[in-house]
Amino acid sequence: MAFIVAIDGPAGSGKGTVANIIGKKLKLLNIDTGAMFRCVALELLRRKININEEEKIKDVLKNIKIELIVDNEENIVKLNGEDVSLDIRKEEVSNFVSPVSKLKIVRNFLLDLQREIANNKDVVMEGRDIGSVVFPNADVKIYLDASPEERAKRRVLQNKEKGIESDYETVLENIKVRDERDATREIAPLKKAEDAIIIDSTYIGIEEVSNKIIDIINNKRGCK
Ligand code: DC
């Protein structure tokens, strides 16, 4: 039987890094659902389609091909055959993806795709609504959190590593706005599933968080 680990949490909580570590260590397929929303946002931007043009968005979704590939231990995101791993992280996409992720047609399309990709596989899937909507029966559900201030600090550091200078106060403000938007949207808002285990990564490092989750998974697997 397939084993499903759901990791949800706000932007900058470290869920991407943690899912990556856990996926590699436990040989679980790592599915970054945020990257899938980012692919749709990128395609709409490229075609200059705005979020009110439902018919055009439907057409885009009919033909879009999103693939999450692991090559030489590296996660690669492909959009219609093209490697867009870097393009989907650009500021322009980050700003547009939040309104795009509110659209019912987009959420429904990706919900089906997420379930299809995970079908019959052992996976760690990270996002905002995995434990609550995509896989309400997941074997392990984690809700990873951290204070907005800590998440802003991490984002500034990440940007610095990429050679991008950013202002802490502006990043913090953006994080708070995005949290509010993600938590209050009508469909599948960011929320902790009732039976999710909360881990706060504000004061503990990513390695320690990953080890905690690995222990939880191993305990659960032992029981399965
Ligand atoms: O995790 P991320 O920053 O790459 O996610 C990009 C956007 O997609 C973010 O604004 C929230 C949205 N998202 C979502 O609504 N549901 C998910 N399961 C994953 C991401």
Residue nearest to atom 1 of ligand 1 (CA): 34
Q: What is the bridge-based pairing of β-strands 123-127 and 82-83?
A: unpaired
Label residues 49-78 b or e (16+ Cβ within 10 Å = b): beeeeeeebeebbeebebebeeeeeebebe
The domains found in the chain, sorted by start residue, are 4-207 (3.40.50.300)
CB-ligand 1 contact for 97 (6 Å cutoff): yes
Query: What DSSP designation does 51 have?
Result: T
C-alpha to C-alpha distance for 100 and 54, rounded to whole angstroms = 11
Residue with tokens 């029981």: 223
Spacing, Cα 101 to ligand 1 middle (Å): 7
Q: In a 10 Å sphere around its CB, with 0-12 CB exposed, 13-18 middle and 19+ buried, how is residue 136 labelled?
A: middle
Cβ atoms of residues 161 and 214 within 8 Å: no
Q: What is the pLDDT of residue 224?
A: 61
Which pair of tokens denotes residue 121? 């596989």
Name the closest-CA residue to atom 6, ligand 1. 34
pLDDT score of 202: 94
Question: How far away, in angstroms, is 128 Cα from ligand 1 center?
Answer: 6
pTM of the model: 0.92
What pLDDT is stored for residue 94 in this prediction? Answer: 85
Is any atom of ligand 1 closer than 6 Å to the C-beta of 155?
Answer: no
Instruction: Indicate left, alpha or beta for 126 from its phi (over 0: left) and psi (-120 to 50: alpha).
Output: beta
Chain length of the chain: 224
pLDDT in tens, the chain (224 residues): 699 999 999 988 999 999 999 999 999 999 999 999 999 999 999 999 999 999 999 999 999 999 999 888 788 999 999 999 989 988 899 889 989 999 999 999 999 999 999 999 999 999 999 999 999 999 999 999 999 999 999 989 988 887 778 899 998 998 898 888 888 888 877 878 899 999 999 999 999 999 999 999 999 987 66
Can you tell me the distance from the alpha carbon of 3 to that of 217, in angstroms, rounded to the nearest whole number? 10
C-alpha–C-alpha distance, residues 155 and 36, integer Å: 20
